[in-house]
Structure 1
Amino acid sequence: MIDNTKTYQKQALAHTIEQNNLFPVFIKLETLRVLIIGGGNVALEKLRSILQNALGSQITMVAIQFHAEIIELQQQYNNITIISTAYTPSFLQNQQLVFVAVNNIALASRIFDDAHACNLLVNVADTPDLCDFYLGAIVQKGNLKIAISTNGKSPTIAKRLKELLIETIPNDVDALLYNMHHIRQRLNGDFRLKVQQLNSLTQSLVSNNISPNKLFQTKEKKWQQIVKWCLLAFVFMILGHTLLSLLPSFSWKSGILKLIDLMDWKVFLMMLLTGFIAQLVDGSLGMGYGTISTTFLLANGVNPAIVSSRVHAARVFSSGVSGYQHHRFGNINKKLFKNLVITGTIGAVLGATLACLLQAYAFYIKIPLSIYTLFLGYHIIRKAFSKKMVGSKVKRAGWLAGFGGFTDAFAGGGWGTLVTSTLIAKRKNPRYVIGSVCLAEFFIVFASAITFFIVLKHIPLFDVAGLIIGGVIAAPIAAKLVGKLPIKKMYIAVGILVMTTSLITLWKVINQFFMN
């Protein structure tokens, strides 16, 4: 037994002399043309890996048959081309990187030779001898990306190391990279001097046991503090106005009884149900709270200005919490945020003011608002079938935000459906788009709610409370449903629901108009 142990130790020691001679390199795959030969589970795995790391890559797939999920991905992304036919060497023309995922070693060897004849690099799945490069286990936290290779010895160890690094590296490491990038841009001198200055800075952080997250603590917490104090101010404004207007200073008991008597339980329950449905949709899809709330309340005959004021008052809380968390985890693109928040707030104030001034024409305004929500429903359904655009940038984001803020305040919803979906369809990194839009949404909704309060003189506490409580009840349910429901079918169902309700409202208004 002892002899066997010594033998294993000698073998292990001999293996330590081996070197991993693979040269680590990160390729700009989005600038290359990629060919995947195969259409089964392995080909699907390769396709997913490419999309996760380089979403804009131009990908061609060749196979006689394709996995159903491959076809679904091809329908979502317009940079994927699938060709249903057998392999021939002609497919290697004009390609720059080849992945082979076929269950036929003879065919794989032939493709390997054909590719080398064309001076192409090849990766043949599960066949190290026919690989010019390997795909390692990838750990990614924002801009930080780590590739792990065991030289093909143990994929299991690579997987375990990946899991360990994912748990160890903090989620907000990307915020640290962002801050260090801006510090480096401000440093003077040549490259050698900049490296020395950065080394000195980071060494002081380590030696003094200072958390890297405190590097820009003042800047990092500024917007979080603003959101927190705005929320507190809004809460005290609503509560203070309600209590001072309804509770006599000489008798709190009689004031509370009066408050309960004034409460319209039918309206409260309607708001509760509306808030529940709206949050259920929004929490599952990331959009639709304002659209659903407005559509439902308009269908129940609520004045358009009243609808928008209630919805925005309730959204102040949900958007505030969401924006706070996104900023906390460093999901904000500051340039995009500034472009959105300024023009979006201006548009929101104008939209809320116009909605209040046109209260006398509420009956007529229901017609264009119903048409608008009808369009939003169509937009949601179209999103289910549209392919995702990659690599393009949004121009004039400020104008988009201004229009989104105006329509959102005037019509009671549409910011997420229009602004978020447009930006996320154009930009490469959804994390920063969603984070920036959510933080900007809080200030836009806050500006709308304050405008409604000033012009309308009040915001009913119980109506807003109904929307908020309904949303709170639905939030954990929606959180459990995220990722479990078929997104495409959900978009279609919500779009049909919004369009149907809008058509019913439009029919009622037009019918009443002709009857009068």
Structure 2
Amino acid sequence: MPDFSTIDFTAILPFIAIGFAAQVIDGALGMAFGLINSTLLVSMLGMPPALASASVHAVETFTTAASGVSHIYHRNVDWRLFRRLVIPGVLGGVIGAYVLSNVDAAVAKPFVMAYLAAIGLFLLYRAWRGALTLQSPKIVAPLGLAGGFLDAAGGGGWGPVVTSNLLVQGAAPRTTIGTVNTSEFFLTATVSITFFTQMGLAAFSLATLGLLIGGLVAAPLGGILAKRVPARPLMAMVGALLTLTSAYTIWQALR
């Protein structure tokens, strides 16, 4: 862990801005904080994937708690769906963190991102087509397990995998986003603990501190945005973000 008393804190301002922007998007659309920040840490700073994922999850332990409180306050949480997601998600996260700490999981990433890009395009089509048919999602526990695993092993993925697939099954956008954000706290806390048992305190860095400050400032805004934006535009924004981030990650991996 660095000695923060000797650091020029102007150096963390870019990370504060990135953490703020990523958390606004994540809180409002149910995804992207992990993907945006992991991509930054790995591609721009050259941080090893396991260390980047550990850093992001350390930050998300705090930001998801604040975001979850906001979503609960604005009544964006479906508690039945929450109970079905949390335990499989935590289990998948523990397995994914252990795998990433000991095995290179980067080989599968382009294939996962191609799948998510296709889901994003489908969500855009549903939003463009017209009225949404809402229904209770049937496949939840396996989705939570897969989302938790991919989130830990890939440095981000809980929101893109879980939110997008629940929306495809007909879940209401507002409560889906609120529920996925709120349940993510338990996933990130567990994943962080798992990483620390494997790697120690190496995840704490100057970048981590900046992302944490920016993320905490932005966290309360997500619940407000998810509550006030209508369902069709919300689904369209989720689809667009998912398609763009997945396409960029594929391009980075195949260069």
TM range (shorter): 0.7 to 0.9
Aligned to 2:71: 326
1:453 corresponds, among 191, 196, 207, to 196
Distance 1:381 1:366 in 2: 24
Cα distance change, pair 384–344 in 1 and its aligned pair in 2 (3 A):
same
- 1:354 pairs with 2:102: no
Tell me the CA shift for residue 503 of structure 1: 0.6
State whether residues 89 and 187 of structure 2, in contact with CA within 8 Å, keep that contact through their aligned partners in structure 1: yes
Aligned to 1:413: 156
Cα distance change, pair 432–272 in 1 and its aligned pair in 2 (3 A):
closer
Question: Where do 1:86-165 residues align within 5 Å?
Answer: none
Distance 1:392 1:477 in 2: 27
The secondary structure found in structure 1 opposite 2:47 is: coil
Aligned to 2:145: 402
Question: What amino acid sits opposite 2:166 in the alignment?
Answer: L
- 1:379 pairs with 2:109: no
Cα distance change, pair 283–400 in 1 and its aligned pair in 2 (3 A):
closer
Tell me the CA shift for residue 392 of structure 1: 4.0
Any idea what the Cα deviations from partners look like across 1:125-177, whole Å, max 9, x if unmatched? xxxxxxxxxxxxxxxxxxxxxxxxxxxxxxxxxxxxxxxxxxxxxxxxxxxxx
- 1:295 pairs with 2:22: no
Question: Where do 1:45-64 residues align within 5 Å?
Answer: none
Aligned to 2:50: 305
Aligned to 1:502: 250
1:275 corresponds, among 13, 19, 22, to 19
Distance 1:297 1:281 in 2: 18
Tell me the CA shift for residue 409 of structure 1: 1.0
Cα distance change, pair 450–350 in 1 and its aligned pair in 2 (3 A):
same
State whether residues 274 and 297 of structure 1, in contact with CA within 8 Å, keep that contact through their aligned partners in structure 2: no
Tell me the CA shift for residue 397 of structure 1: 1.3
The secondary structure found in structure 1 opposite 2:123 is: helix
Give the TM-score taking structure 1 as reference length: 0.41
Cα distance change, pair 498–270 in 1 and its aligned pair in 2 (3 A):
farther
Aligned to 2:80: 335
State whether residues 96 and 153 of structure 2, in contact with CA within 8 Å, keep that contact through their aligned partners in structure 1: yes
Give percent identity, aligned residues only.
32
Cα distance change, pair 504–333 in 1 and its aligned pair in 2 (3 A):
closer
Cα distance change, pair 496–330 in 1 and its aligned pair in 2 (3 A):
closer
Question: What amino acid sits opposite 1:504 in the alignment?
Answer: Q
The higher radius of gyration belongs to 1
Question: What amino acid sits opposite 2:157 in the alignment?
Answer: G
Q: Write 1 or 2 for the structure with the bigger share of helix.
A: 2
More relative contact order, 1 or 2 (CA 8 Å, 6+ apart): 2
Tell me the CA shift for residue 401 of structure 1: 0.6
Question: Where do 1:76-87 residues align within 5 Å?
Answer: none
Aligned to 2:29: 285
Tell me the CA shift for residue 344 of structure 1: 0.9
Tell me the CA shift for residue 270 of structure 1: 6.0
Any idea what the Cα deviations from partners look like across 1:453-496, whole Å, max 9, x if unmatched? 12110121422212123335666898789749x66378436633
Aligned to 1:207: none
Cα distance change, pair 390–490 in 1 and its aligned pair in 2 (3 A):
closer
Cα distance change, pair 447–477 in 1 and its aligned pair in 2 (3 A):
closer
Any idea what the Cα deviations from partners look like across 1:304-350, whole Å, max 9, x if unmatched? 11121111111112211122333455554443222211111111111
State whether residues 106 and 154 of structure 2, in contact with CA within 8 Å, keep that contact through their aligned partners in structure 1: no
State whether residues 114 and 246 of structure 2, in contact with CA within 8 Å, keep that contact through their aligned partners in structure 1: yes
Distance 2:110 2:10 in 1: 26
State whether residues 101 and 195 of structure 2, in contact with CA within 8 Å, keep that contact through their aligned partners in structure 1: yes
Distance 1:337 1:430 in 2: 14
Distance 1:436 1:493 in 2: 19
Tell me the CA shift for residue 416 of structure 1: 1.4
Q: Count matched residues.
A: 245
Kindly report the root-mean-square deviation, in angstroms, between the aligned alpha carbons of the 2 structures: 3.6
Tell me the CA shift for residue 411 of structure 1: 0.7
Any idea what the Cα deviations from partners look like across 1:426-465, whole Å, max 9, x if unmatched? 3555554444333321101111111111211012142221
Give the TM-score taking structure 2 as reference length: 0.76
Distance 2:111 2:194 in 1: 25
Tell me the CA shift for residue 277 of structure 1: 4.1
Distance 2:157 2:64 in 1: 14
State whether residues 348 and 447 of structure 1, in contact with CA within 8 Å, keep that contact through their aligned partners in structure 2: yes
Structure 2 residues not aligned, in runs of 5+: none
Q: Write 1 or 2 for the structure with the bigger share of strand.
A: 1
Cα distance change, pair 338–283 in 1 and its aligned pair in 2 (3 A):
closer
